[in-house]
Amino acid sequence: MGLFRKKPDPMSDRSRALEAQIAALEAQIKQLSQRAEKEQSQPHVRSRVVPQSSQGQKALGFSPPNASVTGGHEPVFEPVDHRTMASFSQSETGSSHYNDLGMRKYDLVGAWRRLRNHLHGPATGNSKLVSYLAAGTIKGLRPLRYEKRVARNRFVALAILLLLLIFGILKMLFAQS
């Protein structure tokens, strides 16, 4: 007679399963804490010093990956072209940049170059991100072409306003004379 039998409660089944998981996790925590206490009670001997000789390294089973290439623990240097560095430093600090009194002359070409570099900004490090921004494929960010159009329209509006202002001032000056 299944009509009068109680139906199993899904909430109580779930609570029993969760209690069993909690008990298993508590037992695991207890085991790990006991293991950690045992490891802390034992002296921990570890040397931070690596022997300098290759014989000592081989005795300990340590061999650096590039020991055969560099001949031990010698540093590896990159070749540097010193001629370009010297010519650059001479061109920047040559005697033509100073006047008779030893004061630095104003370098108009250098100032223009610095201004142009400042306005252009640094080169991008992640060109793929720049292409995503330009295409507008990242959600939440407007495409770069939209931003350029807004900036261009703002510039045109301000330029027209400035021209109208100049025209008005000139008209007032010529109307008085």
The answer on pLDDT for 34 being more than 60 is yes
Share of the chain above pLDDT 90, in %: 23
- Calculate mean pLDDT across residues 118-123: 76
Distance CA 167, CA 158 (A): 14
Bigger pLDDT: 50 or 19? 19
Phi, psi of 104 (to 5 degrees): -75, 135
**Number of separate helices (H) and strands (E) present in the chain:** 7, 0
> Who contacts 146 (Cβ-Cβ below 8 Å, separation ≥6)?
136
Encode burial over 61-77: b for 16+ CB neighbours within 10 A, e otherwise: eeeeeeeeeeeeeeeee
Q: What is the pLDDT of residue 131?
A: 72
C-beta separation of 104 from 97 below 8 A: yes
Distance between CA 70 and CA 156 in Å, rounded? Answer: 62
Going from the C-alpha of 155 to that of each of 115, 145, 159, the distances in angstroms are 20, 15, 6
Q: What is the pLDDT of residues 160-170, one digit of tens each?
A: 999 999 999 99
Q: Which of 21-25, 38-42, 78-82, 103-107 has the highest mean pLDDT?
A: 21-25
Distance of CA 176 to the CA centre of its chain: 61
Give yes or no for a contact between 24 and 12, defined as CB atoms under 8 angstroms apart. no
Residue 73 near residue 52 (C-beta atoms within 8 A): yes
Using alpha carbons only, how large is the chain's radius of gyration in Å?
Answer: 38
- Please check the confidence at residue 31 and state whether its pLDDT lies above 80: yes
Confidence class for position 85, pLDDT limits 50, 70, 90: low
Q: Average per-residue pLDDT in the chain?
A: 76
The pTM of the full predicted model, rounded to 2 decimals, is 0.25
Q: How confident is the model at residue 26 (pLDDT cuts 50, 70, 90)?
A: very high
pLDDT confidence of residue 70: 46
- Between 125 and 148, name the one with better pLDDT: 148
